Amino acid sequence: MLKLTLTKRPGKIGKAINTRTEMHGTEEVPGLDIPVGGILINVEELRLLCDEPTADVAFFKNSEGGILVPRIGALT
């Protein structure tokens, strides 16, 4: 498993934080889902996050001037 470390950058924490109980063996431990958004990542970080060396090709296409354009409109 690869470890992704992000540098400090602007982002937003979502409004709804979900709490739950997880089982670790026979022990119950608390768990949280904290949604984050608005964090821009570069190509290398995308590849690490997806654990796929060609993730950028799957999600983006090159336009004129080498600008990456999302292949899926919902990703904008």
Task: Supply the mean pLDDT for the chain.
Answer: 87
Residue 75: pLDDT above 70? no
Residue 1: pLDDT above 70? no
Check if the beta carbon of residue 13 is closer than 8 Å to that of residue 33. no
Convert the pLDDT of each residue in 52-74 to its tens digit: 999 988 988 887 787 888 888 77
Convert the pLDDT of each residue in 8-44 to its tens digit: 999 999 999 999 999 999 999 999 999 989 988 888 8
Task: Output the CA–CA distances (angstroms, integers) from residue 55 to 32, 58, 61, in the order listed.
Answer: 28, 5, 11
